Structures are given as structure tokens and as C-alpha cells.
């Protein structure tokens, strides 16, 4: 029996949305497992529930054999030709649906012909539609408006550490070091050697992600896109903004580029799910800062390989992994800023701004989380705890350190937790 990686988190979401009268929009970075989830795991689930094979209509638009169906009119004709019984339910799977949307249409979502086609199919009442896409524009408010309130999104991510560990098994610490180096793109878990993993991830950047972005957005300065990607990979966990990036390219690389081009390229990299932007939030003022931001790579392995494994700052890598894990679990994640007072060398009180790595929200729940490689040094401990203490509120405060420690709460009410406990326990924040 062929071994495969379970994606139960996402499979459950699809099962719960089955026949809900909405278009299920499955998005995420390319090669993160969207197609396998839909065309294998969910397909097998439907078959196990007794759905006839000819009632599951599958179309992969990134396959050149299906190029004609990138025309929404032809796509509609094909799907309708497969629906032979108006009294029985049919399930339509369309993979990489962005191939049926032109660049001009993305600028004016209300004109996207594909959405009219999908809305028309829903009116048949015996059609359940699922589409995948690798562009976050599909999750925008404009797109959901185009579906007239009939869109339902599921975002798929690279493997979490738990998914990766459950598949490969072994010593937790050893598996983590492998994961922290090569990340969680699903096919990486099947590669036997480091060289195979390195080559696969390198090829993804050049032959899949960059090619998609350059072709889709008609990039005129691909070298700038490449340098920008390197700059973001180097700066994970650090504050940055458009002007700072432009200045860095000018001073370090001797490349002069205007701020608007940088801003546009940042949007393209984010829309392709390669990076995520974390905004800074004033905890006491309860407002967002306009800039700077932090960017995190959607897969730490892609980041490391992009930098030729040269910049292995363990602190920033751990922070990126924790950020990704929080996103996978469905939390909204910001970078926290909180002001506190301390005495200077002249014993005068002065105001200082402290950073909380993550302000995490889900519904009415809020958590403050610090990522700390270790807390062995008293000064390091004070530095990490001070922002949490300075909030002066009663939301849960957590410090995650790279240890095996069992969760425990200190005299200040702050929960201390080992990294492996956090990554392997989906309910870790509830402890």
C-alpha cells in the first residue's frame, strides 16, 4: 500500500463543507498539497461514501492537455456535458483555477467571467463545486463579492511539524532539526538525501514560483524580484518596510529601484503565498502602526535553501516556525508593541518600547507569545518577560523555549512551554 501524508485538518474542513451550496475555494502556495488533498484524499472519501466515480468531475487547468478549458465558456460546456442526471449530485473539482482568470480580470474582479460560470453551475442545485488556486487574490473581499456570498475558503499550508513528524517518526529533536533546515513542503518528506531535498526546493523557487509570478504579472525586472526575495529571506523576524528594502538594495547591491516597484513586487510575493506580512500592533493604544512590518516565509526550508543554507540564525528560524504554526491553527497573528518605563544610568525614568513576538487572536480569545531559544541567563529572562508583564492586562501570556520542558506557570502567571510540546499539541495554548 502506497504511503501518504495525512492532511486530516484540511480533509475535515472539506467534509464539513460538503454540499453546503457554496463554491469551496482551496488556496495555498503551489506544491503544498492542495491537489493531493482534493484529487486523492477527498476523492477517496467521496468514493467511500458511495459516490459513483462518474459523478466526480475533475479538471486540472495547469495540465496543457486541458488548455482549452482555461476559457471559462469551454469549461462550462464541458462540466455541463458531464452532468447527465438532474436528480443526482455531481462533484466538480477544478485545479489551479487561476489559469482561467486573466491579469486584466484580476484588476477588475467584477468582470471575471469564471465566477459567473461557477455561480451558474451552482444554480443547477445538484452540483457541488471545489476549486484550488495558488493566488491569494482568490480570498479577497472582491472575489467573495463576485461569488455573491457563495464562496467558502479553505487555506492549505505546507506540512506543520506535527504532520511532518507523524509521517517520518523518530527522535523529536532530530526530526525538528531536519524540519528547521528543509521545511515542510510535502515532497521533501519523501526525499532520501539532503542533496535531493536541496535540489527540489531550489527548483521550486526558480521553475515554479518565480516563473509563475514573472509570467502572471509580466514582471519587467526579474532580477529585482530575485534580490527582493533574498532580502526578505535574510530579514525574517526583523522589522522592514519598502523604503528600507529599496535603500538596502541600493547600498549593498548597487541597484536603484523606486519604492512603488518594491511595493508591487512585495504584493506579488505575498499573493503567491511565499511570504506573509505581520503588522505591528500597539497593545495599549489598541491600534496598528502603518509601518514597519515583519515578513515571514511560508516554508522555512524554501527560505534556507534560497540563502544557500548560509544564514542559519536559530532564533529567527524558530520564530518563523512558531509563526507558521499559529497561522496553520487559524489564529490571526500580529507583532505586539508595548510601552514601559525603566530607569536610566542617572536613575531617571524613561519610556521605552518593548516588542512581543506575537499577539494572537481567535474569536474572543487573545494570547501574547514570546519565542525564546532559551531562558538560562537571568538578563535574557528579564528581557523576554518584560514586554509580557508591561501589558498590565489579564490575557494569557506564554513563553516558548527550545526545550522538552512540561508546561508550567511562574509566579507572575506566565505559562512556560517547551517547543516540542507547543508544536505537537494543537491545544497547547489552552493549557
Angle of CA points 231, 271, 177, to nearest 5°: 55
Per-residue pLDDT reduced to its tens digit, 261-286: 999 999 999 999 999 999 999 999 99
Of 92 and 107, the one with more pLDDT:
92
Averaged confidence pLDDT in the chain = 91
Per-residue pLDDT reduced to its tens digit, 20-56: 999 999 999 999 999 999 999 999 999 999 999 999 9
What percentage of the chain has pLDDT greater than the value 90?
Answer: 73
pLDDT confidence bin for 216, thresholds 50/70/90: confident
* CA atoms of 41 and 10, how far apart (whole Å): 10
114: nearest Cα among 147, 154, 150, 66: 147
* CA atoms of 198 and 279, how far apart (whole Å): 31
DSSP single-letter state for residue 100: G
pLDDT confidence bin for 356, thresholds 50/70/90: very high
Quote the pLDDT of residue 290. Answer: 86
Does residue 292 have a cis bond before it (omega within 30 degrees)? yes
Quote the pLDDT of residue 138. Answer: 58
Report, as an integer, the average pLDDT of 417-421. Answer: 96
Report, as an integer, the average pLDDT of 309-314. Answer: 86
CB < 8 Å & 24+ apart, contacts of 224-229:
224/249, 224/255, 224/257, 224/261, 224/262, 224/265, 225/265, 225/268, 225/269, 227/253, 227/255, 228/262, 228/265, 228/266, 228/269, 229/205, 229/269, 229/274, 229/306
Residue 170's φ and ψ, nearest 5 degrees, are 105, -160
Report, as an integer, the average pLDDT of 169-182. Answer: 96
Quote the pLDDT of residue 380. Answer: 85
Give 362-383 as a 3 state SS string.
ECCEEEEEEEECCCCCHHHHHH
Over 80: is that where the pLDDT of 359 sits?
yes
Ordered DSSP codes for 212-268 = HHHHHHT-S-HHHHHHHHHHHHHTTTSEE-HHHHHHHHHHHH-----HHHHHHHHHH
Report, as an integer, the average pLDDT of 109-129. Answer: 88
* CA atoms of 196 and 203, how far apart (whole Å): 11
Quote the pLDDT of residue 402. Answer: 96
Report, as an integer, the average pLDDT of 5-31. Answer: 94
Kindly state the greatest CA–CA separation across the chain: 84
Per-residue pLDDT reduced to its tens digit, 224-249: 999 999 999 999 989 998 998 888 88
* CA atoms of 378 and 172, how far apart (whole Å): 28
Residue 42's φ and ψ, nearest 5 degrees, are -75, -35
Quote the pLDDT of residue 352. Answer: 83
Quote the pLDDT of residue 140. Answer: 53
Report, as an integer, the average pLDDT of 307-316. Answer: 90
DSSP, collapsed to helix, strand or coil, labels residue 113 as helix
pLDDT confidence bin for 168, thresholds 50/70/90: very high
Chain centre distance of CA 218:
24
Amino acid at each position: 500500500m502506497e504511503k501518504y501524508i495525512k492532511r486530516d485538518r484540511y480533509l475535515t474542513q472539506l467534509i464539513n463543507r460538503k454540499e453546503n451550496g457554496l463554491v469551496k475555494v482551496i488556496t495555498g502556495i503551489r506544491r503544498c498539497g492542495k491537489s493531493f488533498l482534493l484529487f486523492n484524499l477527498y476523492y477517496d472519501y467521496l468514493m467511500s461514501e458511495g459516490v459513483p466515480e462518474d459523478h466526480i468531475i475533475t479538471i486540472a487547468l495547469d495540465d496543457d492537455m486541458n488548455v482549452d478549458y482555461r476559457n471559462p465558456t469551454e469549461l462550462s460546456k464541458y462540466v455541463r456535458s458531464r452532468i447527465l442526471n438532474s436528480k443526482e449530485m455531481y462533484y466538480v473539482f477544478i485545479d489551479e483555477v487561476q489559469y482561467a482568470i486573466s491579469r486584466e480580470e484580476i484588476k477588475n474582479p467584477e468582470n471575471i467571467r469564471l465566477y459567473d460560470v461557477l455561480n451558474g453551475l451552482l444554480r443547477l442545485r445538484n452540483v457541488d463545486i471545489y476549486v484550488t488556486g495558488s493566488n491569494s487574490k482568490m480570498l479577497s473581499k472582491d472575489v467573495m463579492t463576485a461569488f455573491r456570498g457563495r464562496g467558502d475558503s479553505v487555506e492549505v499550508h505546507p506540512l506543520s511539524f506535527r504532520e511532518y513528524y507523524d509521517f517520518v517518526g523518530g527522535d523529536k529533536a532530530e526530526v525538528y532539526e531536519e524540519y528547521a533546515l528543509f521545511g515542510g513542503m510535502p515532497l521533501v518528506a519523501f526525499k532520501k538525501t539532503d542533496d535531493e531535498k536541496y535540489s527540489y526546493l531550489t527548483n521550486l523557487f526558480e521553475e515554479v514560483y518565480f516563473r509563475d509570478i514573472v509570467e502572471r504579472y509580466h514582471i519587467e525586472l526579474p532580477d529585482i524580484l530575485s534580490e527582493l526575495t533574498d532580502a526578505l529571506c535574510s530579514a525574517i523576524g526583523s522589522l522592514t518596510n519598502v523604503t528600507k528594502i529599496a535603500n538596502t538594495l541600493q547600498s549593498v547591491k548597487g541597484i536603484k529601484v523606486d519604492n512603488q516597484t518594491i511595493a508591487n513586487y512585495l504584493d506579488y510575493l505575498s499573493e503567491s503565498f511565499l511570504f506573509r506580512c505581520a503588522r505591528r500592533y500597539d497593545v495599549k493604544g489598541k491600534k496598528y502602526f502603518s509601518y514597519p512590518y515583519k515578513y515571514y516565509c511560508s516554508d522555512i526550508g524554501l527560505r534556507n535553501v534560497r540563502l544557500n543554507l548560509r544564514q542559519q540564525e536559530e532564533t529567527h528560524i524558530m520564530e518563523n516556525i512558531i509563526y507558521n504554526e499559529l497561522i496553520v491553527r487559524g489564529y490571526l497573528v500580529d507583532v505586539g508593541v508595548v510601552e514601559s518605563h525603566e530607569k536610566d544610568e542617572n536613575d531617571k525614568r524613561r519610556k521605552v518600547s518593548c516588542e512581543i513576538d506575537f499577539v494572537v487572536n481567535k474569536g474572543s480569545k487573545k494570547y501574547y507569545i514570546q519565542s525564546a531559544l532559551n531562558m538560562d541567563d537571568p538578563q535574557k529572562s528579564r528581557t523576554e518577560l518584560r514586554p509580557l508583564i508591561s501589558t498590565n492586562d489579564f490575557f494569557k501570556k506564554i513563553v516558548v523555549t527550545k526545550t522538552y520542558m512540561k508546561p508550567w506557570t511562574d509566579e507572575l502567571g506566565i505559562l512556560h512551554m517547551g517547543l516540542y510540546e507547543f508544536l505537537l499539541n494543537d491545544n497547547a495554548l489552552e493549557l
